[in-house]
Amino acid sequence: MIKSMTGFGRGHAELSGRDITVEIRSVNHRYFEFSSRLPRNYSFAEEKLKSLLQGKISRGKVEVSVLVQNTAAVSEKITANREVIREYVDALREIKDEMGLTDDLSLSAVMRLPDAFTVVKAEADEEQMWADLKTVAEEALDNFIKMRETEGARMKADLLSRLLTIEKNVEFVESRSPIIVEEYRKRLYDRMCEVLEGKAVDENRILLEAGIFSEKTAVDEETVRLKSHIAQFRGMLESGEPIGRKLDFLVQEMNRETNTIGSKVQDIEVTKVVVDQKSEIEKIREQIQNIE
């Protein structure tokens, strides 16, 4: 199944106290090009993400966006500095006795004391973070590939339709070729009759000239190669492997054979077919630029 290089996929889940969203988008590119936007504490996962995607994507400019929000207090730990608090309380009560103050010391007052509490960030468990991120990234990747395959199926149908048109054009050229030679022979005969003014016409000379013309305008090799290219093209469309670059080569060859036919055969009917065929080949070329 062919795949488009354009695609989008999204994954989302809440795991280990984190709300994780991963989005993957891509556009066509000659090679695989990766970029990412990650939270700072997930920078360690960039290469892992790249390897995960590169295992399923061979071509395209791919961008991954990761958004993570904590839904539980998993990243911070608060501890009371008991010795500091004790020193504050002792000092305050000493002042109370000396100055005859009311003892209204409360928990809310303790919370406002400088350095009474320490907030310590819990050590990040990168293995768990990566496991959770990978789970969501794989969901996004599956959706991404499905979209690429859907677009690829549409492109395949269009390409097969255009190949059929080119095949019919080739068949027309093959059927038209002997008619062109016969028309040339007849024109040559009529001209010789006109020049000789009723005298006997050398039939052998006519046949010789027609034979030379036939050799010069023969396009059997070109039509045979075109049919071969079309068959190969169809076969590749059924392949499950990345085929974009191979198809590009075939299109170049098809265009070359078509140009050769146009230069060899100076016939208005064939010229029309060649122009139409070159248009179809160009449309195919545009399509395959977006095939993985």
Reported as a pLDDT band with limits 50, 70 and 90, residue 197 is low
- DSSP string covering 87-147: HHHHHHHHHHHHHT------HHHHHTSTTSEEEEEPPP-HHHHHHHHHHHHHHHHHHHHHH
Q: Tell me: pLDDT of 217 over 80.
A: no
Helix (H, G, I), strand (E, B) or coil at 281: helix
Does residue 194 sit in the same domain as residue 88?
A: no
Does residue 282 sit in the same domain as residue 157?
A: yes
Residue 259 lies in a domain: yes
Strands lying side by side in the sheet with 7-15: 7-15, 18-27, 60-70, 32-37
Does residue 92 sit in the same domain as residue 172?
A: no
Cα(246)–Cα(19) distance, integer angstroms? 42
Residue bearing the bigger pLDDT, 151 or 122: 151
pLDDT digits 0-9 by tens, 221-273: 899 999 999 999 999 998 877 888 889 999 999 999 999 998 888 888 999 99
Residue 56 lies in a domain: yes
Q: Tell me: pLDDT of 172 over 90.
A: yes
Q: Tell me: pLDDT of 198 over 60.
A: no
pLDDT at 89: 81
Residue 2 lies in a domain: no
Does residue 136 sit in the same domain as residue 155?
A: no
Instruction: Find the farthest-apart pair of alpha carbons in the chain and give their distance in angstroms, rounded.
Output: 149
- Tell me which of 87, 113, 148 is where a domain ends: 148
Residue 115 is part of which domain span?
Answer: 76-121
Mean pLDDT of 154-180: 92
Does residue 165 sit in the same domain as residue 272?
A: yes
Q: Confirm if 204 and 236 have CB atoms less than 8 A apart.
A: no
Alpha carbon separation from 236 to 137, 233, 246, 248 (Å, rounded): 30, 5, 8, 12
- Token readout for 166 is 């080119």
- Token readout for 209 is 């000239």
Does residue 191 sit in the same domain as residue 273?
A: yes
Does residue 59 sit in the same domain as residue 192?
A: no
Residue 1 lies in a domain: no
Does residue 173 sit in the same domain as residue 138?
A: no
Residue 81 lies in a domain: yes
| Amino acid in the structure at residue 155 | M
- Token readout for 96 is 């109370």
Reported as a pLDDT band with limits 50, 70 and 90, residue 109 is confident
Question: The domain spanning residue 50 has which CATH number?
Answer: 3.30.230.70
Does residue 224 sit in the same domain as residue 245?
A: yes
Q: Tell me: pLDDT of 93 over 90.
A: no
**Most confident listed range (9-23, 100-114, 115-129):** 9-23
Does residue 82 sit in the same domain as residue 61?
A: no
Does residue 166 sit in the same domain as residue 269?
A: yes
pLDDT at 37: 96
Number of structural domains in the chain: 3
pLDDT at 235: 92
pLDDT at 56: 92
Q: Tell me: pLDDT of 279 over 90.
A: yes
Q: Confirm if 95 and 138 have CB atoms less than 8 A apart.
A: no
Least confident of 121-130, 151-160, 209-218: 209-218
Is-above-0.85 flag for pTM? Answer: no
Query: How far does CA 75 lie from the centroid of its chain?
Result: 38
pLDDT at 185: 65
Does residue 264 sit in the same domain as residue 185?
A: yes
